[in-house]
């Protein structure tokens, strides 16, 4: 997928090096130089434009229409000036993600994250699930989602989990750790949201800071004053307002676990060079919901399947609109699974839909 986007469509990616994402055993993550979604989106838009494909971005689809056999014949959309328009189609791909922007659906399917901030696109309100099920489509894994336990508060910018994998920790506003942070950032969306005031602090040292410097969002957070620095634990307590006695206790507990060569009380194995040394860095964060991964069941051609398993005639889905590959909960989300399903399912859906359109034009 990465090769195809780079070689055929001129989208620039580089391998993210310097740290491993939680659960990864090899360097696999690719992203634009800045590591931002905005740059990736711009590159994809340019590729669409270079391919001569018409794209309407200022309209919202309100409904889809199908004949008695379930064949989709068109959509109704509303332009930004309020005008509605009906567009016919030979095939339809649902690429409108999941339901993270619909508070009611989130509460219904994933109660544990319902009180967390939604950091995904707020227009992702479950339309694919609604339209698909109205046509008899099956859904699955509705409890799956990508959470994040490290979104700078109140700035709403993600702080890379590299600060954790490089020895950093999370403490709540009492100055106490509450989990094995190495389980991953998705699991920590709900963990952090469950802490007092839904808040935690990321505390890390120079290795975490250096790894994070490669991320545009982190550099922005520094400019915004979100990254606090301290040379002693006393100063760290002062800049964060975290109780010194608890901070000291947590730092000692980690050092004891390291010198005993044992996992800590949460089961985290700290490496010897993970001992947090000054200068200390701290960022206040909250737990967030990024996107949902449960959705319409599709096959290997990205065809949306009915409850009985047979495909609908010309309806396809990819990305968060379709059931993903993360299982039915938050802990199945492995870094990259979001864009993986968006790009690979999307490509499969494009190939399948093009086949139908070409046959109709022939």
Ligand X SMILES: Cc1cc2nc3c(=O)[nH]c(=O)nc-3n(C[C@H](O)[C@H](O)[C@H](O)COP(=O)(O)OP(=O)(O)OC[C@H]3O[C@@H](n4cnc5c(N)ncnc54)[C@H](O)[C@@H]3O)c2cc1C
CA dist 131 and 267 (Å) reads 44
Cβ closest to ligand X, residue 161 vs residue 204? 161
Give buried/exposed letters for 71-106 (b at 16+ CB in 10 A, else e): bbeebebeeeeeeeeeeebbbbbbbbbbbbbbeebb
CA dist 302 and 355 (Å) reads 13
Cβ closest to ligand X, residue 95 vs residue 129? 95
Min. distance of Cβ 360 from ligand X in angstroms?
23
Min. distance of Cβ 97 from ligand X in angstroms?
3
Cβ closest to ligand X, residue 280 vs residue 345? 345
Query: In the chain, what's the furthest Cα-to-Cα distance?
Result: 75
Cβ closest to ligand X, residue 305 vs residue 342? 342
Cβ closest to ligand X, residue 147 vs residue 207? 147
Binding residues for ligand X, rule: CB under 6 A, are 37, 60-61, 95-97, 119-121, 123-124, 127, 146, 158, 290-291, 319-321, 336-340, 342
Cβ closest to ligand X, residue 158 vs residue 208? 158
Closest C-alpha to 240, from 205, 283, 274, 193? 283
CA separation, residue 79 to residues 24, 48, 64, 256 (Å):
43, 21, 15, 61
Cβ closest to ligand X, residue 16 vs residue 169? 16
Min. distance of Cβ 72 from ligand X in angstroms?
14
Min. distance of Cβ 123 from ligand X in angstroms?
3
Min. distance of Cβ 102 from ligand X in angstroms?
10
| DSSP β-ladder status, 303-305 and 139-140 | unpaired
Min. distance of Cβ 89 from ligand X in angstroms?
14
The dihedral region occupied by 34, where left means phi > 0, alpha psi between -120 and 50, and beta the remainder, is alpha
Min. distance of Cβ 216 from ligand X in angstroms?
12
Contact yes or no for 159/221 (Cβ under 8 A): yes
């Amino acid at each position: 997928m990465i090769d195809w986007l780079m070689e055929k469509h001129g989208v620039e990616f580089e391998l993210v090096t310097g740290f491993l994402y939680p659960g990864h055993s090899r360097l696999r993550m690719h992203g634009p130089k800045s590591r931002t979604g905005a740059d990736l989106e711009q590159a994809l838009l340019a590729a669409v434009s270079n391919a001569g494909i018409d794209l309407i971005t200022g309209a919202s689809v309100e409904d889809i229409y199908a004949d008695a056999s379930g064949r989709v014949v068109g959509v109704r959309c509303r332009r930004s000036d309020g005008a509605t328009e009906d567009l016919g189609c030979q095939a339809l791909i649902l690429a409108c993600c999941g339901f993270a922007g619909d508070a009611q659906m989130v509460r219904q399917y994933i109660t544990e994250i319902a009180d967390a901030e939604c950091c995904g696109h707020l227009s992702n309100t479950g339309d694919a699930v609604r339209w698909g099920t109205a046509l008899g489509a099956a859904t699955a894994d509705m409890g799956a989602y990508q959470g994040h336990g490290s979104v700078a508060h109140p700035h709403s910018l993600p702080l890379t989990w590299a600060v954790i994998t490089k020895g950093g920790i999370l403490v709540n506003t009492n100055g106490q750790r509450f989990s094995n942070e190495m389980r991953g950032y998705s699991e920590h969306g709900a963990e952090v949201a469950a802490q007092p005031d839904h808040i935690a602090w990321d505390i890390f040292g120079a290795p975490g800071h250096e790894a994070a410097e490669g991320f545009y969002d982190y550099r922005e957070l520094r400019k915004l004053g979100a990254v606090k620095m301290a040379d002693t634990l006393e100063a760290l307590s002062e800049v964060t307002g975290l109780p010194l006695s608890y901070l000291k206790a947590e730092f000692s507990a980690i050092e004891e676990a390291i010198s005993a060569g044992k996992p800590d009380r949460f089961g985290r194995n700290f490496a010897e060079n993970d001992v947090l040394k000054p200068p200390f860095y701290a960022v206040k964060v909250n737990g967030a919901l990024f996107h949902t991964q449960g959705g319409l069941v599709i096959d290997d051609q990205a065809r949306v399947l009915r409850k009985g398993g047979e495909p609908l005639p010309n309806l396809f889905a990819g990305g968060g609109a379709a059931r993903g590959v993360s299982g039915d909960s938050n802990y199945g989300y492995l870094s990259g699974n979001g864009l993986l399903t968006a790009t690979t399912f999307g490509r499969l859906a494009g190939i399948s839909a093009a086949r139908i359109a070409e046959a109709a034009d022939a």
